[in-house]
């Protein structure tokens, strides 16, 4: 994983967790956002990013 992706994940994870918990807490039937949900989203975003960049690099060769 590149350092820039790791930095973005470190900054965005706590911020996303806090914002989502604040927003969802206002609903009558609220749910908690657990750590694995954010980890899954980060994993999917990283996988899509690396796959896209890899295909673009291989296409240019």
CB-count burial class (<10 Å; 0-12, 13-18, 19+) for 33: middle
Average pLDDT of the chain is 85
- DSSP H/E element including 4: helix 3-24
Q: Is residue 13 scored above 90 in pLDDT?
A: no
Helix 3-24 with 35-60: angle, nearest 10 deg: 140
Cβ atoms of residues 6 and 35 within 8 Å: no
- 60 DSSP assignment: H
Q: What is the pLDDT of residues 50-59, one digit of tens each?
A: 899 899 999 8
């Amino acid at each position: 994983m590149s350092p820039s992706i790791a930095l973005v994940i470190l900054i965005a994870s706590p911020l996303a967790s806090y914002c989502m918990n604040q927003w969802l807490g206002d609903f009558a039937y609220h749910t908690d956002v657990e750590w694995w949900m954010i980890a899954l989203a980060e994993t999917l975003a990283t996988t899509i990013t690396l796959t896209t960049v890899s295909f673009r690099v291989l296409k240019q060769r």
